[in-house]
Amino acid sequence: MFVANAFVTDAFVANAFVGRYDGAMTAHPTAPRSRRERPAKPALTREGIIATTVDLMRAEGLERVTMRRLAKELDTGPASLYVYVRNMAELHAAVLDELLGAVDLSPAKADGEWRGRLVRILTSYTSVLFEYPGLAQSALVARPFGKHYLKLVEALLALLDEGGLEPDRAAWLLDLLLQFATATAAEHAHRAPGDTPQSEADWQALATVVRDVSPRTHPHIAALGPRLLSGSPQDRLAWGFDVLIAGARHTPLPEAPAPSPVDARDARDTRGTGD
């Protein structure tokens, strides 16, 4: 948890200065306070920017965090922030990485079956994102790349290796697992802070539609009925992870996968150097 920094503004409260003259108390007018006498502002740092962003996000919601709003909180100009972060996408990625420090990675080194331990870490990751659905939505397009994200990736890959998954499949499966977890949290990004995942009214409306659907026009929906809405969110999430893991174990990669964007860029760089 981060504690918001307090910054001194140009406004100050006038103090009454009192002196003694022949035993009497005489009030003197307040003199303007020199800038040199004011407490210095804390130095602007990337860590401070991220910490303040987290505080604002928790208090007001991610959608309210703009460079202008952040600069005001830090008592600086918006242009100063771009020295430390290139844009809002990079700031969101940095904030997400900071929050990923709360993901429980202890199952990676615990005893027990590797698959269950893997799902426990992924569930913890999803739970962190559920607390900040707006940030989860941002994470779909701006991934973190800091120390906490790397620790998460390392823990997941270690468990996939322990489970005997082929390295190339593990590399691609990792992406799918994190996408599924992130998308599950981002699905609720439109909600206001404090709302429940889905209101009781929403569930009742959906259940009514499923229950009353015509077997003539929608025979498969009518046949499954309540089973379409069965299970807890936690059970469905864990089952989704299991499906992806089981599928990767039995699904080889394409024999000749197309180059990734990184491969293509490296090829261009190599041609440019004449190597």
What is the CATH number for 126? 1.10.357.10
Same domain, 111 and 245: yes
Range of the domain at 182: 104-193+212-252
Same domain, 171 and 46: no
Q: What is the pLDDT of residue 258?
A: 79
Same domain, 2 and 122: no
Same domain, 114 and 242: yes
Residue 16, in any domain of the structure: no
Same domain, 177 and 238: yes
pLDDT in tens, the chain (275 residues): 333 333 333 332 333 333 433 444 444 445 555 445 556 677 899 999 999 999 999 888 888 899 999 999 999 999 999 999 999 989 999 999 999 999 999 999 999 999 999 999 999 999 999 888 778 888 888 778 899 999 999 999 999 999 999 999 999 999 999 999 999 988 865 555 455 555 678 878 989 999 999 999 999 999 999 999 999 888 999 999 999 999 999 999 998 777 877 665 655 655 566 55
> Which of 56, 85, 114 represents a domain boundary (last residue)?
85
Same domain, 127 and 233: yes
Residue 267, in any domain of the structure: no
Same domain, 140 and 238: yes
Residue 47, in any domain of the structure: yes
Q: What is the pLDDT of residue 12?
A: 29
Residue 64, in any domain of the structure: yes
Same domain, 112 and 176: yes
Same domain, 109 and 184: yes
Residue 260, in any domain of the structure: no
Q: Which residue in 143, 238, 225, 144 sits closest to 184, CA to CA?
A: 238
Q: Which residues pair with 25 in a beta bridge?
A: 20
Residue 171, in any domain of the structure: yes
DSSP the chain: ---PPP---S--PPPPEEEEETTEEEEEPPPPPPGGGSPPPPPP-HHHHHHHHHHHHHHH-GGG--HHHHHHHTTS-HHHHTTT-SSHHHHHHHHHHHHGGGS--GGGGSSS-HHHHHHHHHHHHHHHHHH-HHHHHHHTTS---SHHHHHHHHHHHHHHHHTT--HHHHHHHHHHHHHHHHHHHHTTTTSPTT--SS-HHHHHHHHHHHHH--TTT-HHHHHHGGGGG-S-HHHHHHHHHHHHHHHHHT-PPPSSPPPPHHHHHHHHHHHHHT-
Residue 24, in any domain of the structure: no
Query: What total number of domains does the chain contain?
Result: 2
- Residue 7 token pair: 């910054």
Q: What is the pLDDT of residue 25?
A: 42
Same domain, 80 and 108: no
Same domain, 156 and 227: yes
> Which of 85, 116, 140 represents a domain boundary (last residue)?
85
> Which of 29, 51, 85 represents a domain boundary (last residue)?
85
Q: What is the pLDDT of residue 198?
A: 54
Residue 202, in any domain of the structure: no
Query: Residue 2: which CATH number?
Result: 1.10.10.60
Same domain, 111 and 243: yes
